Structure 1
Amino acid sequence: SNRVLAEAVARYLNIPLGKASVRRFADQEIFVEIQENVRGEDVFILQSTSYPTNDHLMELLIMMDAFMRSSARRITAVIPYF
């Protein structure tokens, strides 16, 4: 939900951002596509819960589900209020 924050954290940690896309269909349904192999990897999702909180929380849950289905070893959600 905040690409600028994610890029700043990744730059500080000297790691690349993962490749994933979040889109919305016409009916506002959220679609997450993981665009790289994460099988067996530790994944960190940085997702703020600022306004609109419910939308950002749903994005987080759907993203976590997508990573689980992609066989990530461990998923850690980092949830700042930013």
Structure 2
Amino acid sequence: MLGLGVPESWLPRLATLKAAGAVGLVVGLWVPLLGAVAAIGVALYFIGAALTHLRAKDYAIAPVVVLFLLAVAALVLRLASA
């Protein structure tokens, strides 16, 4: 992240957001609303990651896109099962 211009002071907050999203997706298996909110949060996180890569002119964003699509799939599946 530092190579992309993300300030070092942001790293703990970003790591906390990513971990909270992962926990929310798992807990969302039992608490549907939390799963949907977590999926939205994770999708937004990876939109930010993609924009950060593009702003830094780093076009190796395939992993970011895949993780974004997985978050969107989790949201779609959660909403479809409601």
* TM-score normalized with structure 1 length: 0.40
TM-score (normalizing by structure 2)? 0.40
Structure (1 or 2) with the greater strand fraction: 1
More helix by share: 2
